[in-house]
Amino acid sequence: MYFFMFSISNFVFVVLLCAINCICGRMFADEGLYPAGYYDSQQVQYDRIKNALTKLEHAPQWVNDWPNPSIKMGQVSGLAIDNMGRLLVFHRARNVWDENTFNDREVYQGIGDDPIPDPTILVLNDTGELVDMWGQNLFFIPHGITVDNEGNVWVTDVAMHQVFKFTPDQRQKPALVLGEKFVPGNTDTRFCKPSAVAVLSNGDFFVADGYCNHRVIKFSPDGTILLQWGTAHGTSPYVFNVVHALTLAEDRGLVCVADREHGRVACYRHDNGTFHSSFSNWLIGGRVFSVAYAPVHGGRLYIVNGPESQILPVRGYVIDFTSGRLIQTFAPDGGLKNPHDVVTSPDGSKVYVAEINPFTVHKFVDEGLRNESLLDKVEKNETATSATHVKPTATVEVVGRAGGAEGAGAGAGGAWQRWSGALGGAAGAAAAALLAAAALALRSARNNGKGREAEPLVH
C-alpha cells in the first residue's frame, strides 16, 4: 500500500512539473524519459528547498559523539525522557520489522519464537552513558514508549498488538496489559499494531491504534475506555493514515497525533476529542513520523519527517504552535535517514531523535532555552530556593511534595520540582543551590550588560 502511495505521490509530482513546463510555455520533448525542462524544474525545487532551509534558524544544535559508541542497539523505535531527565531508548535488538514479519492478516509470523532476550530498554544519562537497562524476555517488535508523572513506563509492541504499563518497582511484570496477545483486532479489547501511549497528569491515557486501525482511544487509569475517535475514509480531520505517535499539550488541553502518511500533526481536545488544529508544511512533506510538544515561547512542536521523494530532505523541524509557522530545523551533520521518534525536555533545551536505520539516537541542545529555563525557575522561586540554601533538608521535602501533587501541567517548573523531589534530601538541596547560584550569576551578567533590571525572557 505504501508503495502504491509512493508512486501516486511521484506521479503527482511529475504532473506538477509538467504543469510548470506548460505554464512556462515549453513543449515536451519527443524522446527521452522526462519532459524537456525536467532537470531545470528539479533544480528549481532544490533551490526552493535550499532557500527555505536558509531562512530557518538552525536549532537546536546537534551534539557530536553522543551517546557512548560502545552502547549497542538495534532498530530504535521509541524514546522517552524520565522524571530524572534521563533518556529511555526502546529498541528491537536483533529483531527487525520487515516484509516477512506479519502476514496479510496482520498476524505476527514469529509467534513460536522466544521474546527478545536482550534488554530492550536502555537508560542513558545526560552525558550519553548507559546507566540502566531492562525489558529482556518481554517483547517481540517494540514500538512506542513513554513515562508518566509517577515514573510508570508505558510501551507498545506491534507484534503482540498490546500496550503495557510497568511501575518503577516492578520491571519484570507489567502492572497493566491491554489488548490480546498476538491477536489483531478493532474492538474494545483488541488493537492492531498499536504505536504509542501518552499519559495525562491525572492518569488518564491515550493509545494510538495505530498501523492498521485508524483511531485514538482514551482510557481511564484502570484501562476503561472513555472516548475514541478516528476513521479510515473520508475527508474530515478525523481521518488517519497510520496514527504513528502522540504528544500532549496539557497547557492547551490538547493531545496531538503524528498522522504519518498524511504528513500532518493533528491536535484534538483531550477532554472530548474535538478537532482543534492541524499542522503541515510543503518543506516537511507528506510523511510525519513523530512529534513532541514543549510549552516554551507559546508552545513548540518538534517534528521528524521521513524519506518520501529524492528531493525533500529528511530532518527535524520546529513549528511555533501559536502562529503555525515553521521556525527552526535541526539534523546531525550527516543528516537523518529514517527517523522514527522525537522527544523533547519540557523546557525545549534537549531534543532527541531515534533512527530505525541506522540503529542510533541523536541528541540536540538549545543553550538559549536552557539558560532561560534556569533563570525562569529561580526568578519565579527566588524566596523558596534561597531558603533551600539556608535550611536544605526541610525545604527540599516541601519542594518534593509540591512536585508530586502538581503534575506535568506546571510545565518546566513542574519538571524541576519533580526532579528535585526524586533526587532526595541532600543531593536535591545541593542541586537547587547550584542552580540558584548559576542562574543568579546569569542574571547579574545580564544586568551588567544592560545596566538595568532583567526583563522576563519567556513570553
Ligand X SMILES: *[C@@H]1O[C@H](CO)[C@@H](O)[C@H](O)[C@H]1NC(C)=O
Chain residues that interact with ligand X, rule: CB under 6 A = 125-127, 129, 131, 269, 272, 274, 367-368, 371, 380-381, 384, 402, 413, 442
Inter-residue long-range contacts of 320-326, CB under 8 Å, 24+ positions, other chains counted: 321/249, 321/252, 321/293, 322/298, 324/277, 324/279, 326/56, 326/281, 326/283, 326/284
Cell of 261: 502518511
The CB-of-288 to ligand X minimum distance in angstroms stands at 25
Residue nearest to ligand X (CB): 413
Nearer to ligand X, 313 or 403 (CB): 403
Determine whether the annotation assigns residue 126 to a binding site.
no
Chain center to CA of 59: 16
Distance, in Å, from the CA atom of 311 to the CA atom of 39, rounded to the nearest integer, reads 12
Determine whether the annotation assigns residue 340 to a binding site.
yes
Determine whether the annotation assigns residue 92 to a binding site.
yes
Nearer to ligand X, 320 or 397 (CB): 397
Nearer to ligand X, 147 or 163 (CB): 147
The CB-of-225 to ligand X minimum distance in angstroms stands at 16
Nearer to ligand X, 63 or 442 (CB): 442
Distance, in Å, from the CA atom of 396 to the CA atom of 328, rounded to the nearest integer, reads 37
DSSP code string of 300-319: EEEEEE---SSSS---EEEE
The CB-of-346 to ligand X minimum distance in angstroms stands at 12
Nearer to ligand X, 86 or 171 (CB): 86
Nearer to ligand X, 190 or 380 (CB): 380
Determine whether the annotation assigns residue 214 to a binding site.
no
Determine whether the annotation assigns residue 58 to a binding site.
no
Distance, in Å, from the CA atom of 335 to the CA atom of 341, rounded to the nearest integer, reads 15
Cell of 337: 535517514
Determine whether the annotation assigns residue 94 to a binding site.
no
- Residue 49 host element (H or E): helix 38-55
Strand pairing report for 205-209 and 194-199? antiparallel
Distance, in Å, from the CA atom of 344 to the CA atom of 81, rounded to the nearest integer, reads 8
The CB-of-455 to ligand X minimum distance in angstroms stands at 14
Longest CA pairwise span in the chain (Å): 85
Determine whether the annotation assigns residue 56 to a binding site.
no
The CB-of-136 to ligand X minimum distance in angstroms stands at 21
The CB-of-458 to ligand X minimum distance in angstroms stands at 11
Chain center to CA of 316: 11
Determine whether the annotation assigns residue 79 to a binding site.
yes
- Residue positions forming the annotated binding site for Ca(2+): 79, 341
- Residue positions forming the annotated binding site for Cu(2+): 244
- Residue positions forming the annotated binding site: 79, 92, 143, 211, 244, 260, 340-341
